[in-house]
Amino acid sequence: MIINRSLAMISTFGLLVACAPMSRYEAVKSPAILKAVQNARTYGDHNALAKRFENLAKEMRMKAEEQKRLLEHYQEKSYLYGRQAQDRKSHTWALMHRYE
């Protein structure tokens, strides 16, 4: 019983370490995360992966909302930014869609 519990704890820890990519937003494309998804066997493994992706999705939604507010600001007050207004709007729009 102790061996099974220890093995489960070690595999869960290994899964969490493997799920730590360099960039949080590139986690889906990471070979380590793809391998962790393919090798997930237990309920705890699936739970850990689901929680990780839910947290990542929540962060992305928050960033998309922030970019949306910023885009509205740029559209309403483009006169404040002069020639850079269009660049800022298009950059913010692209970021917003990337986060969504």
Per residue in 48-77, pLDDT (tens digit) is 888 988 998 899 999 999 999 998 998 888
pTM, whole model, 2 decimals?
0.58
Residue numbers in the chain where pLDDT is lower than 50 = 7, 13-22
pLDDT score at 13: 44
Decide if 90 contacts 65 (C-beta within 8 A). Answer: no
Characterise 18 by phi-psi region: left (phi > 0), alpha (psi -120 to 50), beta (else): alpha
